Amino acid sequence: MNTGERASARKDPKRVILFDTTLRDGEQCPGASMTVRQKLEIARQLARLGVDVIEAGFPAASPGDREAVWQIASEVQGPRIAALARCVEEDIEIAAKALQPAGKRARIHVFLATSPVHRQYKLAKAEDEIVELAVAHIRLAKQWVEDVEFSPEDGSRTERDFLVRVVEAAIEAGATTINIPDTVGCALPQEFAELVSYLLTRVPNIDQAVLSVHCHDDLGLAVANSLAALKSGARQVEGTINGIGERAGNAALEEIIMALKTRSDAFGGLYTGVCLKELVKTSRLVSRLSGLPVQRNKAIVGENAFAHGAGIHQDGILKRRETYEIMDPEEIGWGRTELPLTKHSGRAALEERMKQLGFQLTPEELAALFQRFKELGDKKKFVYDDDLVALMVENELSQLPETYRLEHLSVVSSTGALPTAAVRLRKGEEVWTEACVGDGAVDAAMKAIDRITGKRGDLLDYQVRAVSQGKDALGEVMIKVDFGEGCVITARAASTDVLEASARAYLNAVNRALFWQSSCTGTSAVTAP
């Protein structure tokens, strides 16, 4: 926050700043890697939700992250756009340049480990060196942007006296937000609350910055710790949608938002500025684009969050909703019925529905999606929103230059016989057909693709799930494939035929591997995925 925003926050001490790190810390969850386009779509939805800060990525980590931060800073209006950087000069410079389109909304988030175990084993540095490094790099970041956030990594395991010293020095150097991370998720609510209180009373210049917390869920306490910290005086909370993130994940923002809203009495009237009706839509979009399903019994956004199976509960709900529900499901985006599209729906109807789902399509993207939509419409009665998002993801992942396209798949499999798959692929004007046997129908199809493309991958993970409802439900296949030389790719595809979806997903992975290989050899100017 700049000086004016800090003053405004002091005038309204009940306002909680929401810092969303779904696109940075959330994406670090294994299997959650997203493309630049997918990150941009999520960032737009986060802006519609009304979060205050979007941490768009870690620009120094990869060219892809750099591009994502630049695109989000360029195209997403409203929230502040933050980028992570180590206390390293090059990291800060790269982050600053990626954030340039955000102008005065740009925030550089620098971090440096401070706990004894990190000082001794990771950094091999003494306390004085840690303070000097933090101060020097905060000052460097201030040369690029007005808004600088500093995180003493592993803050919850740092000696309190030293933490006070580091925080005071960071604020004096120009940090406008001080974030205390429970990096390994070891804190308990009471002790984390006490730590926040300790800092608020012992750091002399703490009133010159916003105190933030960033909790991980290793003990399942990320949300509880975050709420305890807010009750003790922290006024920024960091987390992710659906709680995705490193290891067991981060604090789930939707749970924090609704806890503050539902139990305002317990939190002294603390509130956020979000549009509650966007919560469910945001959760579903993050789930679909990250490939991480939301568990059915997940609080707030799980499918069973407002489902009642017991007769006594159903009877009570029918008489008065408040008997067994403390929240109104419609208030957060549940209960709105969207009419599904059919094969007779036109291009304009499809485009409008995609806008409602948060996607802004170019004419070329709409044309490609419309073709797949019509193909799907011929196979099932209704095309639901989740079907459309699945098609969008598949269509995006397949948009690579000089890729193979599946034209035909035929599979023969029966008890006691060798599964056989015949595959026909097209690349430009050339067409190849190959047949292979395998351990199963999916294996046979993948081997046929390997033989045509000359690119063999080892399947590390294979998941199938129904995207929508009914016997004609769209099935989505997500796979993780290792092509060697550090090229591990996650790909997805959807079809009413799971075997076809499997072949399409594997072909998407092969196409991305070939694209990655060409970029590494210098034949393409585009960076590796």
Residues annotated within the binding site for Mn(2+) are: 25, 214, 216, 250
Please answer whether residues 512 and 483 qualify as being in contact, where contact means their C-beta atoms are separated by less than 8 angstroms: no
**Terminal alpha carbon distance of the chain:** 33
What is the rounded distance in angstroms from the CA atom of residue 425 to the CA atom of residue 452? 8
Q: Which two tokens stand for residue 441?
A: 């129908």
Q: Which residues are annotated as a binding site?
A: 25, 214, 216, 250
The answer to whether the beta carbons of residues 150 and 114 sit under 8 Å apart is: no
Phi and psi at residue 46, to the nearest 5°: -65, -35
Max Cα distance, the chain (Å): 78
Please count the other Cβ atoms lying within 10 Å of the Cβ belonging to residue 329: 16
Exposed, middle or buried: residue 112 (CB in 10 Å: 0-12, 13-18, 19+)? buried
- Residue 57, both tokens: 């990525």
Q: What is d(CA 254, CA 286) in angstroms, rounded to the nearest whole number? A: 12
295-301: long-range contacts, CB 8 A cutoff, minimum separation 24: 298/242, 299/252, 299/254, 299/255, 299/258, 300/252, 300/254, 300/255, 300/258, 300/327, 300/332, 301/242, 301/254, 301/332
CA–CA separation, 93 and 107 (whole Å): 13
CB-CB neighbours of 197 under 10 Å? 15
Which is it for the CA torsion 247, 250, 254, 255, positive or negative?
A: positive
Q: Take residue 512 and report the two structure tokens written for it.
A: 């991305």
Structure token pair of residue 425? 């692929």
- Cα separation of 106 and 109, whole Å? 10
Place of tokens 């101060």: 135
Count of Cβ atoms closer than 10 Å to residue 288 Cβ? 25
